[in-house]
Amino acid sequence: MADHLDAPTPLDEHRKLAVFAGEWNGEEMAYPSRWTAGGPATSHVVARIALNGFYLIQDSVQTRDGKESFATHGVFTYDRDDRAYRLFWHDSLGYYPPSPASGGWAGKSLILVRGSLRGNARHVYEVVDDNTYSMKIQFSPDAEGWADVLTGVYRRIH
């Protein structure tokens, strides 16, 4: 019976994503852009570790002026072959990214960048403490000068 391969198991890099698992309430600021006029918002985020511990699946719904204004579905993982984190991102703007965002940890921040024909997006998730993290999404036409599109601080719901 030694003619089969053992199924892979999550690495420490996969397990590190669990810091973002849970249910969160966020206070956000949407900045004026080609997609929105900008302004304050709140967000509800639910994230869970799934598929044998290899993925963090995150769903969020943003509310502005009493109605849903933006929703996201993110799938985070660690690519053991390329030794990089990946973020497969989908949102209510309806654009489908040609490839996942890629990146890694810099201190307490997970930084992921993706490009498309519209430009480049950078997602920065910073762990503040066990019950708080911040996030910012930035845009750049050339991946050099970054402008904030959305920022937020998220607190764990107990």
pLDDT at 18 over 90: yes
What's residue 112's pLDDT?
98
- Output phi, psi for 20, to 5 deg: -95, 0
Q: Taking the chain, what is the end-to-end CA distance rounded to the nearest angstrom?
A: 47
- CA distance linking residue 134 with residue 121, whole number of Å: 17
What's residue 143's pLDDT?
72
What's residue 71's pLDDT?
95
What's residue 5's pLDDT?
75
The mean pLDDT of the chain is 92
Query: Do 19 and 40 contact (CB within 8 A), yes or no?
Result: no
Mean per-residue pLDDT, 102-128? 93
pLDDT at 3 over 70: no
What's residue 1's pLDDT?
52
pLDDT at 19 over 70: yes
What percent of the chain clears pLDDT 70, i.e. is strictly above it? 97
- Nearest Cα neighbor of 19 from 131, 137, 152, 151 is 131
